[in-house]
Structures are given as structure tokens and as C-alpha cells.
Amino acid sequence: MIRRFAMLMLLLFAASAVRAQGTVSLKPVARLSIGIPVTLADVAELSGSAQHLADVEVVADPLAAAGADNRLTITMDDLQRAIHAGSTSLISRLRFTGSSCTVILRPAPPTSATEQTTDPIPAKPHPTGLVVRDHIEARLLETLAVSRDRLELTFANRDMALLMTPTTGWTVDVQPTGSSAELPLRITMYDRSGDIRDESIRVGVRILRDVVRTSRALRRGSTLTEEDLTHDTAWLAPDVPFIEPNSAVGLRLKRNVGAGDLLTAGRVELGQVIKKGDIVAIHVISGSIVIRTPARALASGRIGDQIEFESLKGDGTFTAEVKAPGRAVLIANMESLTGADH
């Protein structure tokens, strides 16, 4: 009897050891370069014997499988099919967790001018001196307030003759007349005799921005925390209203978002920084005099909202503008708050 029990325990232990040989945990989001096959290690956390499967190819051509937004979804079924194709024996001894991974494809940084699909900004002026293109570059660097390595310009072939026109002896004025991915520019050139040459072109503009994405799917009305966000960089058109990384925490979602979504102004709004019933410091301003007095919020509010407060000194109610968590400002006559403290 004892021998049979011991044998049973040994078999159970052996079976448990086989089942625990490796774990494949699907990541919620992965950001990868375009043109590189997606491997198991790119989209999943691997442990134990599963680490030997790191180079298993899940998607050979991710760009072909992606949608117009350069994204594709890899499910657990996709992983298991890829593993099964390479090892039919190991898959039965793996533990799988997670449901799907959103893969965001990003252009790989160009290594040389011949590899770029866009027309790069020249590193130095044309040998014959400055040309129109140099003035465009200088103007956009100044207007957009970015460094050279964060600005990508694309020019149309039809504009090359104008762009390479020498500007020696001319005064050149470049003015952006809009803000979009295809930025319209007005170019006015004046020579020494007073002649004027007017040109208009469009230049493709992208700026490398520091952005934030959601680390998981979130529902409308959620207030963002550090755990909900991941920092990233992205090439964006000048008019994309992206959210700065240091401004994202505390914002509230205006709509549902998926894992890996870029945060933009259209997707978020300021969260409530004062809730109904909170005791708030009211800064009452009258001319050069500032008085601070506590009051109870009679409504919840976001920064910039005008909400009603009740004085804790029994002086009635009043309306003030929410400025920060626990703080509001009232520009008013002091006579209504004579009991307030400095």
C-alpha cells in the first residue's frame, strides 16, 4: 500500500514537472520596427523551456498583415500555431497566459540618405552657396522649435528646381501659411534691384515627439494613472495635438481606448480636481489685496470650471474658478468676505 502511494506521488510529481517546463505570457502591447519579422520574444514573456522558442517566427511580414494604422493584433491562437509548426512535442508542456497583443509598427530610423524614402534635410549648404531649401529648413527649425535630428522634411520632385535655386544676392522670406502634414509655405525673394519673386510650395513635415500611450485597454471616464501609461516616441505631423508625458497623469478619458493607443487632446479631458464637499482654499483677490479663506465645494469641478462654494464662516455662498487641486480663485469685492483671514 505504501509502495503504491509512493509510486502515485512520484507520477504526480513527474507530471507536474512536465506541465511546468515553460510559460508563455502574451504582452498587451509591443512596438516593433517595420520590415522585421515578429518573433515570439517580441510579443510574449518567456520563462523556463519556453525561452528556447524566442526566435520562433509568428508573423513573417507584419506590414502586409497590418491595417492602415500600421497595427496588427496577435492572438494566443497565432502563437500556438507558430509554436506547433516548429515543435509539436513541446507545446503540450507549456503554460499560456494572456489573450492578445497589439503590435504597433514604427519606421526604422534611416541609416543613410540612399535608404530614406523621404528627401532628407541637407547636412550642410549646397557647394554653390545657400539655396532656397536651406532657407526653408532654417525657417522651419525656428518656427517649430525643434532640433535638426527631430525634424523630417519631404519634398516633391516637381519642386526640386526651385529648392536648389542659389540665393546669393537675394533676400529670402519663408512663411508657413498653415499647419498640417503637408505644410504650405509662401516663399518671397527680393534681389538687389528690388525685383520680387513669389513662390508657393508644400513640404511634408514630421516631428519626432515624446508621447504617451495606454499600456492597456481603458474605458471612457477612467482617470489616468502612471500604471495606465507607457512613454514612447512617434513621428507626428505638426498639427497632431499629442499629450506631453508630464501632463498625462490625472487626465480623464473621453472615450474608450485600446492598449497602445496614442493619447491626444481629442481623447482626454481634465479630470476633476475638486469634489463636492471638499474643503478648498479660496484666494480672494481685490486689487492688490489677496485674502485666503476656506470654503466647502458645493459641486465637483475641473481646472477652469466656475463652481459654487459655501463659506465656512457663515458668509453665504459664492462662485470661484477652480485653479488646482484644493485651490480656487475669486476676483471680487472684499466686503462680502469681511470675516476672511489673511
Residue 18 reports pLDDT greater than 60: no
Q: How confident is the model at residue 90 (pLDDT cuts 50, 70, 90)?
A: low
Q: Where in the chain is the domain with CATH 2.60.480.10?
A: 2-106
- Check whether 266 has a pLDDT greater than 80: yes
pLDDT digits (tens, 9 = 90+) for 127-158: 446 899 999 999 999 888 888 889 999 999 99
Q: Which uninterrupted H or E stretch holds 274?
A: strand 272-274
Instruction: Work out the pLDDT band at 280, boundaries 50, 70, 90.
Output: very high
How would CATH label the architecture of 273-337?
A: Roll (2.30)
Write the DSSP assignment of 282-313 as a string of letters.
EEEEETTEEEEEEEEESS-EETT-EEEEEETT
Which range has highest mean pLDDT (7-16, 90-99, 248-257)? 248-257
Are residues 229 and 252 in contact, defined by beta-carbon separation less than 8 angstroms? no
pTM score of the predicted model: 0.54
Q: Which CATH architecture has domain 2-106?
A: Sandwich (2.60)
Q: Residue 275 contacts by C-beta under 8 Å, 6 or more apart in sequence?
A: 297, 300
Residue 255 pLDDT > 80? yes
pLDDT given for residue 85 in this prediction: 76
264, β-bridge pairs: 242
Residue 214 or residue 19, greater confidence? 214
Q: Inform me whether the pLDDT recorded for 112 exceeds 50.
A: no
Give the pLDDT band of residue 28 (cuts 50, 70, 90): confident
Under a CB-based contact definition with an 8 Å cutoff, are residues 23 and 80 in contact? no
The grid coordinates of residue 137 equal 529648413
pLDDT of 218 above 60:
yes
CA distance 226 to 246: 10
pLDDT for residue 114: 32
The predicted-structure confidence for 31-61, as pLDDT tens digits, reads as follows 787 778 888 888 888 887 778 788 888 888 8
Residues 164-217: tens digit of each pLDDT:
999 888 899 999 988 788 999 999 999 888 789 999 999 999 999 999 999 999
The bridge status of strand 94-97 relative to strand 22-26 is: parallel
Q: How distant, in Å, are the alpha carbons of 189, 196, 266 from that of 193?
A: 12, 9, 50
Give the whole-number percent of the chain exceeding pLDDT 70.
81
Inform me whether the pLDDT recorded for 117 exceeds 90: no
pLDDT band at residue 279 under the 50/70/90 scheme: very high
Report how far residue 118's alpha carbon sits from residue 157's, in angstroms, rounded to the nearest whole number.
Answer: 11
| Cell numbers representing residue 214 in the block | 495606454
**Helix H or strand E segment including 10:** helix 2-19
C-alpha cell at 144: 517649430
Encoded amino acid at 160, one letter: M
pLDDT score for 132? 93
**Sequence ranges of the chain with CATH classification 2.30.30.760:** 273-337
pLDDT, position 46? 83
Identify the helix (H) or strand (E) that includes residue 171: strand 170-176
Instruction: Specify the pLDDT at position 269.
Output: 79
Which tens digit of pLDDT belongs to each residue from 303-335? 788 999 999 888 789 999 988 778 899 986 544
Q: Which region among 9-18, 223-232, 253-262, 273-282 has the lowest average model confidence (pLDDT)?
A: 9-18
Nearest residue to 167 (alpha-carbon basis) of 221, 202, 128: 128
Is the Cβ–Cβ distance between 198 and 187 less than 8 Å? yes
pLDDT of residue 188: 93
